Chains A and B, each alone.
Chain A
Amino acid sequence: MAAKPQAQGARVEDMGREFLVFTLGEEEYGIDILKVQEIRGYDAATVTRIANVPPFIKGVTNLRGIIVPIVDLRIKFNLGKVEYNEQTVVIILNLDRRVVGIVVDGVSDVLMLGASQVRPAPEFGATLSTEYLTGLGTVDERMLILVDIEKLMTSDEMALMEKAAV
């Protein structure tokens, strides 16, 4: 009887957050599913290159009449081998009235994480500042890197927006 309220509490926490899990190389990342608009295959022919921009910006594509920039997170995170194959997908994100696509190696699943499964991220490297991490999630033996995708994509270093607008 005593365990019941506790179990309920845990479930309420579990209800809290759902993450879309994708892979970049060997690493697994999780982002808030509510930011995801859709997932599409990557077709290099439909992406128009833009000159004089950082290499991780692949260009822009047409998403049903909307011009959407495409960012390759693998290049941004320096994940050595960048291949474009059938598994390569674009996750279309909807962030604060802006639409942005990110190229990832593949989408694995949608997981629900309770607060007990999320640990704060330790301080590390400069490639992906801890500032953009909401924590590290644990599911069985897997570790998910939970990214505050909105903060990351609207940051100055992504250069996706006018400086004045940031």
Chain B
Amino acid sequence: MSGLDLSQFYETFFDEADELLAQMEQLLLELDAGQPDIEQLNAIFRAAHSIKGGAATFGCFTLLAETTHLLENLLDAIRRGEMALRTDMIDIFLETKDVLKSQLDAYRASEEPDAAAYERICEVLRQLALEQNGGQAAVAAAAPVAPSPAPVQAPAATAPAPAAAAAPMDANLPLRVRISRVSAKDAQSLLEEMGNLGQVLASDQLGGGLTVWLESTCSADDIEAVCCFIVDSDQISIGREAVPGEAHAVDDFAQAAAEFVAQAQAAPMSAPVAEAPVAAAAPAHEPAALAAAQSATTAEGGAPRAQRAAGGAPAADKESTSIRVGVEKVDQIINLVGELVITQAMLAQTASTLDPVLHDRLLNGMEQLERNARDLQEAVMSVRMMPMDYVFSRFPRLVRDLAGKMGKQIELQTYGRATELDKSLIERIIDPLTHLVRNSLDHGIETPEKRVAAGKDPVGQLVLSAQHSGGNIVIEVSDDGGGLNRERILKKAMQQGIAVSENSSDDEVWQLIFAPGFSTAEQITDISGRGVGMDVVRRNIQNMGGHVQLSSVPGNGTTTRIVLPLTLAILDGMSVRVGAETFILPLNHVTESLQPTNDQIYSVAGNERVMHVRGEYLPLVEMHRVFSVSGAQDDPTQAIAVIMQAEDKRFALLVDHLVGQHQVVVKNLESNYRKVPGVSAATILGDGSVALIIDVFAMARANREKWTPAEAVLN
């Protein structure tokens, strides 16, 4: 072991520990203190246990190992029913998780973790352990000293009666590590390693094997993981046995079961840590691990761990399932693939003039190229997209912590977790969204007493949702709290010298809270109220090219709506022709299209027109007028009216022809140019030319706000 450089495995350990901590947090949040689910408790325990095992194996992450060790002891006691779970314990465990995370980050950055935080959390955990000891003096001696045999013990507990009787005594017995087929030299170094792990009570070397009796707080898998640097895991068997000469009856069945489980657990434990030596052993070991896993599942009822054992062995063959790549590299690939698709379309156009009989093979090849290019484009585009879950998953913890701190009862619901958003946007949306959630918790939702007084459910609802809408992504944060207080906002605005009028519309009043330094919170808390929130939120969203809308009903809550444009999303579009120009309509806004007849069209106030469709009068927006296209169809009865839906507004858009439906890659116009009225973005068509994507919301307003050239031209 001394000759092996362990540092190359650090990254793997950090990544794994990160995942385990995240998993632990999620499980802790789901845990119901009154009726804890034994499966969940087991899973939490195993996560803590695996981190401790890993940290102890490397030997240089002492603080991390110590902290997890204390946490593990408590979790073990709880899951064995020796200690009742309380809500404050969950809080402490969550806090411990945070400390562990910061320790991990510190180790990752090759720094020493904050010792004060470590001391404090350890003190809290020890205090908890003491409480437990006070209540149950009998178990106290066994549990803190040897908490690790827990996984070994579990199957024994379900074993037949004699074994069950023997089990509690097991914990006090030393660990017996038996390693078969080792050379004398290896045996010597193994013995030294054992000495590092605990106190070697006795050892003997017989028939090419080594047996060590060890008094240690390390678990069986830790010992096995250490041994794996020298021998294969199938050579090792670990159990509990009295040192020869001491009179202790050990049940054979319990021992066999314990060895079995220890083997099964060895696979995942040792695989990431010591890839090289295990790689050879893993395939051979796999059937055994599987069999063990199956028996462990029935015995322990702890499916996740057992499944991990089965899955762990093949995973050892692979380095990792994901790679980190710079975003610019992905963007470059996306652009190149886009070019490829356009080139392919050009080739296809040229090839279509050829005689299909003479050029049969060429045309077949062209078809295949088209399919491949399209698949490639789809695959590449999906690389950048990430589900909103990435953002939403961090809120349950935040809400829980803040609600606890403020004495409020809040239930968080999330919708549209699978809604995909471009990676760059998803990372930038986290901060503004966190601000909004904090605001809702602090200012929005009232205390349970106030809620009851107002005749509402004492549990406040906070809803986070995300959906694609009209070529935009709409993210909403809504609460059922008190709503915005119009009077107070106006009063505050006047105090701060912001010009307002009593007659302002609600929307105008709500806009005031986006003013820098504006806060109506009666008292400043550490959660919010310093008035730096909303203007930052708005600025962040605007920098992303989006906007924020607020709606509020006094007594019924507030909804904040973030509308973000798509920068790099794919849009289902309908291409239409107006004159010689092609435009793209977002398909999700198109409800139907029809050819108007003369008796459907009525004129209003001279040059405005409405269209009568099935009892509904829809404003008629003529594309060629809005975009001043020459040579377009002037007679509505010869054109096509596309009925568009923009939120609650419907209107008829008059175009010359419908061309077809296709997925288009949305290209931002603003990156090299500027925002164009009536256009949300652009895309590149099959022939390499640029087509503009219509901004449906702007079109819906087109009849009310005319974009005169004088307004658009700035000089």
Contacts and interface: CB of A to CB of B under 8 A. Distances in A.
A48 B672 contact: no
Contact of B581 (A49, A100, A160): A49
Contact of B690 (A51, A62, A157, A160): A62
B253 interface: no
Given A50-B692, A52-B677, 5 more contacts: A48-B689, A52-B708, A53-B712, A69-B672, A162-B675
Interface string B683-708: 01000111110000000000000011
A45 interface: yes
A33 interface: no
Contact of B672 (A46, A98, A157): A98
Contacts of A159: 674, 713-715
Contacts of B342: 62
B339 A50 contact: no
Nearest to A162: B674
A35 B672 CA distance: 15
A165 B669 CA distance: 14
Q: Which of A46, A65, A156 has the largest count of B CB atoms less than 10 A from its CB?
A: A65
B412 interface: no
B338 interface: yes
Given A46-B688, A48-B690, A54 B338 contact: no
B312 interface: no
Given A62-B688, A65-B338, A67-B690, A51 B674 contact: no
B581 A54 contact: no
A157 B714 contact: yes
Contacts of A46: 688-690
Interface string B552-588: 0000000000000000000000000000010000000
A59 B339 CA distance: 20
Contacts of A160: 673-674
A68 interface: yes
A99 interface: yes
B52 interface: no
B628 interface: yes
Contact of A162 (B336, B627, B670, B691): B670
Nearest to A95: B672
A48 B709 contact: no
A50 B713 CA distance: 12
Contacts of A161: 673-674
Contacts of A118: none
Given A46-B689, A62-B688, A67-B667, A52 B673 contact: no
A114 B709 CA distance: 44
B678 interface: yes
A161 B688 CA distance: 24
Nearest to A68: B672
A47 B676 CA distance: 16
Interface of A: 45-54, 59-62, 64-69, 98-100, 156-157, 159-163, 165
A99 B672 contact: yes
A163 B670 CA distance: 12
A98 B689 CA distance: 20
A21 B627 CA distance: 36
Interface string B652-684: 000000000000000111111111111100101
A52 B628 contact: yes
B359 to A, nearest CB: 27
5 contacts: A52-B709, A54-B715, A67-B669, A67-B684, A162-B674
B140 interface: no
B714 A156 contact: yes
Contacts of B670: 162
Interface residues of B, number: 38
B581 A52 contact: no
B133 to A, nearest CB: 64
A48 B692 contact: yes
Contact of A66 (B335, B677, B707): B335
A8 to B, nearest CB: 42
Contacts of B334: 65
Contacts of A49: 581
A48 B335 CA distance: 19
Interface of B: 334-336, 338-339, 342, 581, 626-629, 667-679, 682, 684, 688-692, 707-709, 712-715
A100 B672 contact: yes
B690 to A, nearest CB: 4
A60 B673 contact: yes
Q: Which of B667, B669, B689 has the largest count of A CB atoms less than 10 A from its CB?
A: B689
Given A51-B627, A67-B668, A60 B581 contact: no
A60 B685 CA distance: 13
A132 to B, nearest CB: 14
A161 B581 CA distance: 24
A45 B714 contact: no
A64 to B, nearest CB: 5
B713 A54 contact: yes
A62 to B, nearest CB: 5
Nearest to B681: A67
B581 A48 contact: yes
Q: Which of B581, B668, B684 has the largest count of A CB atoms less than 10 A from its CB?
A: B684
A54 B676 CA distance: 12
Nearest to A55: B713
A66 B672 contact: yes
A163 B335 CA distance: 28
Contacts of B679: 50
Nearest to A61: B690
B669 A60 contact: yes
A53 B689 contact: no
Given A52-B707, A53-B712, A157-B714, A69 B673 contact: yes
Q: Which of A60, A98, A161, A162 has the largest count of B CB atoms less than 10 A from its CB?
A: A60
Contacts of A54: 713-715
Contacts of B682: 48, 60, 67
Contact of B339 (A45, A52, A65): A65
Contacts of B673: 60, 67-69, 160-161
Nearest to B679: A50
A42 to B, nearest CB: 14
Contacts of A64: 335, 339
Contacts of B712: 52-53
B691 A48 contact: yes
Contacts of B708: 52
Contacts of B581: 48-49
B671 A51 contact: no
A46 B690 CA distance: 7
Contacts of B671: 66-67, 98
Q: Which of A53, A69, A98, A161 has the largest count of B CB atoms less than 10 A from its CB?
A: A53
Nearest to A54: B713
Nearest to A63: B672
